[in-house]
């Protein structure tokens, strides 16, 4: 009897994860398949996993990434997908630590939105994001949502665009922090209340981060 129950549970689990679809072939929201597993079949996200550091004098940006497999995505169409999530620490040019959310990466949040960095999609040079004239043909980049723990403004948004390179045997990420939307002065918790945050602590622009052992 126990064996029969176990088989039924395994069967039910497998059914909940089918069909398995390449995450980078994922259609717009209305076209997604209920209960499907949008999987990183080519392990594109794996190249970014680990700790990466940018340093310029006293200024330092440390970013850590991990891959969350089969995260549940609720809504009108419920499905599962692989998500690259990340957290960061930023020290400004004066040596003052402005942000440190690294410990949040150790938590297995139910929602991707509880991480300050989470993957959105894969980019080529024909997408909506900034073009990359210096990229070799066929280069794929990662487009990620960027946030800061102190951001309580419902309008302020930014994106982090990643490109992996290897120079003289050294693994690097060329990252671009791009402004998406300005603050609107309204709180995330209550749009009728004022927000206190005005802009991100990390300056917009390009950063070259080196892979750490």
What pLDDT is stored for residue 118 in this prediction?
98
What pLDDT is stored for residue 17 in this prediction?
59
Helix, strand, coil percent content, the chain, rounded in steps of 5: 15, 45, 40
**Whole-angstrom Cα distance, residue 177 to residue 162?**
9
Query: Could you say which residues of the chain have pLDDT below 70?
Result: 1-17, 28-30
- By CB neighbour count within 10 A (0-12 exposed, 13-18 middle, 19+ buried), where does 53 fall? middle
What pLDDT is stored for residue 11 in this prediction?
41
**Whole-angstrom Cα distance, residue 101 to residue 87?**
6
Domain locations in the chain? Answer: 43-211
**Whole-angstrom Cα distance, residue 187 to residue 207?**
30
What pLDDT is stored for residue 6 in this prediction?
41
Buried b (16+ CB within 10 A) or exposed e, 132-168: beebeeeeebbbbbbbbeebbbbebbbbbbbbbeeee
Q: Is 124 helix (H, G, I), strand (E, B) or coil?
A: coil
Torsion 79-80-82-83 (CA) sign: positive
What pLDDT is stored for residue 32 in this prediction?
85
Question: Tokens 């980078």 correspond to what residue?
Answer: 24
What pLDDT is stored for residue 46 in this prediction?
98
């Amino acid at each position: 009897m126990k064996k029969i129950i176990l088989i039924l549970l395994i069967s039910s689990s497998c059914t909940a994860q089918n069909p398995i679809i390449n995450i980078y072939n994922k259609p717009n929201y209305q076209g997604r398949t209920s209960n499907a597993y949008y999987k990183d079949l080519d392990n594109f996200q794996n190249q970014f996993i680990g700790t990466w550091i940018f340093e310029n004098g006293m200024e330092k940006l440390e970013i850590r990434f991990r891959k969350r497999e089969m995260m549940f995505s609720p809504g009108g169409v419920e499905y599962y997908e692989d998500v690259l999530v990340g957290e960061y620490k930023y020290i400004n040019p004066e040596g003052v630590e402005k942000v440190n959310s690294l410990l949040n990466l150790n938590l297995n949040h139910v929602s991707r939105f509880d991480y300050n960095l989470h993957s959105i999609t894969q980019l080529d040079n024909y997408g909506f994001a900034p073009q990359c004239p210096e990229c070799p043909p066929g280069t794929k980049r990662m487009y990620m949502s960027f946030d800061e723990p102190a951001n309580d403004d419902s309008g302020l948004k930014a994106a982090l665009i990643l490109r992996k390179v290897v120079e003289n045997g050294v693994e690097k990420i060329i990252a671009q922090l791009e402004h998406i939307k300005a603050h609107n002065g309204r709180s995330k918790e209550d749009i009728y209340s004022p927000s206190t945050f005005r802009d991100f602590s990390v300056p917009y622009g390009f950063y070259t981060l080196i892979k750490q052992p």
